[in-house]
Amino acid sequence: MSGRRRSTLELGHDAFLDIVANLVGILIILVVVLGTQTQRITELMRENVESEMQLAEDDLPQVDATPDQPVEAVASRAQLDQLGEMAMRAASAQRDSMRIEANLRRYNQQIEQLSEARGRLLDLMSIAEAAWEEKKSELDQSKVLAAKYQREIREVESEIATLAGTKERLANEEAPLVAVEHLPTPMAKTVFGDEIDFRLKGGRLSLVPVEPLMKEIKEDAQRMTPKPGKDASTVGPIRDYIANYVVEREIGRITQNGKTAMAMATRLGAVAFEPLDESVGQPVGQVLRDRSFLDIELAGRDPHSTTITVWVYPDSFGELRQLKEHLYQRGFATAARPLLNGQAIIFSSSGTRSKAQ
């Protein structure tokens, strides 16, 4: 709509300016024509006056002129009347020319005023169009938001109708019987027999070689220089695991066979078992499917005297249940030792033994 109004307004201004320009052109042509006619009339008057004066001189009696007495030409009555008429016509033409020039100046002023008014109107029209476009954009955005909300409302209503139908259908159906598989949970008992340690993290199961690493710790501690205090060292790797341990030595009084003497007592402190790589081991699904890795570790062990301890991290509790089901079917008791993320497997002389089920 704004484009059509603007085109109509601009067409009206252009038509008016064309009319004014045509009038100015006509006035200029009239001025030129009148000027030309005035000049031609003046020349004709001059020629007529000169011819009549020549005729009058010819009709006048010849008078002998002397140097002291000049000869004067006398115009007739008809010549004077004709000269006056031509003078009046010339004055009238001059007045018309001056009037046309005044009109021309007035029209030029009007054209300038109209041009200024047209410029102001165009500026106002531009401002109005910008405001209209802004309001139109806001209106379009409001329509888009309204359409979006309407679509969301329809989707929610459709979802509610679907849920209502599902609820009605479930209400008319009989509740199915669900079989829940579970493992028996006998009383836990402390482990004193043979024990195998596994690490379960990221769904990957790996054997922790506790006995071989403890043997290396014993040999490494014997090679140390005996001195009071604490010594720390590392042994391994064995099967991708190392052991960091601390040996504590102190001098004290001991009594043996009724004799008292000073001696150095050696005690193994904490032992931390850590893998060389966090991704050590095999996925539990692969272990239970192939069974080669687990079968090798359990081969030749008596299920009644062997307990399996699984050091498990929070991300592998689901895999722990699968492993316990498999070990339970094979008759092995399982002890779970939860660990926090970033915590190592630590053995200590002041620690507790595993509780197997």
- CA dist list (Å): 181 to 42, 316, 330: 134, 19, 17
Split at pLDDT 50, 70, 90, the class of 11 is low
pLDDT tens-digit readout, 101-128: 888 888 888 898 888 888 888 888 889 8
Pairing of strands 194-201, 204-207: antiparallel
Long-range own/partner contacts, residues 313-319 (CB < 8 A, 24 or more apart): 313/200, 313/201, 313/202, 313/338, 313/339, 313/340, 313/341, 314/338, 314/340, 314/341, 315/201, 315/202, 315/203, 315/341, 316/200, 316/201, 316/202, 316/203, 316/284, 319/200, 319/203, 319/205, 319/284
Please tell me the predicted confidence (pLDDT) of residue 248: 84
**pTM beyond 0.85:** no
- 58 pLDDT above the threshold of 60: no
**HSE (side-chain half, CA atoms, 13 Å) at 36:** 6
Which is higher by pLDDT, 198 or 28? Answer: 198
| Structure confidence at residue 300 (pLDDT) | 81
Tell me the average pLDDT of the chain: 78
Q: Do the Cβ atoms of 267 and 349 come closer than 8 Å?
A: yes
Confidence of residue 273 (pLDDT cuts 50, 70, 90): very high
**What is the structure's pLDDT at 79?**
72
Q: Kindly give, in sequence order, each residue whose CB lies less than 8 Å from that of residue 233, ignoring residues fewer than 6 positions away.
A: 220, 221, 224, 244, 245, 247
C-alpha–C-alpha distance, residues 91 and 93, integer Å: 5
Q: What pLDDT digit, counting tens, does each position of 145-197 carry?
A: 888 888 889 889 888 988 888 888 877 776 665 544 545 544 445 545 678 89
pLDDT above 90 covers a percentage of the chain that reads 8
The predicted structure's pLDDT at residue 187: 42
Check residue 129 and give its pLDDT: 87
* 225 has pLDDT over 80: no
Confidence of residue 65 (pLDDT cuts 50, 70, 90): very low
Higher pLDDT, 63 or 133: 133
Mean pLDDT of 15-40: 74
Quick one: pLDDT at residue 242? 92
- What residues are paired with 253 via a beta bridge? 262
Q: Residues of 263-276 as b/e, b for ≥16 C-beta within 10 angstroms? A: eeeeebebbbbbbe
Q: How confident is the model at residue 50 (pLDDT cuts 50, 70, 90)?
A: low
Read off the tokens for 49.
């006056």
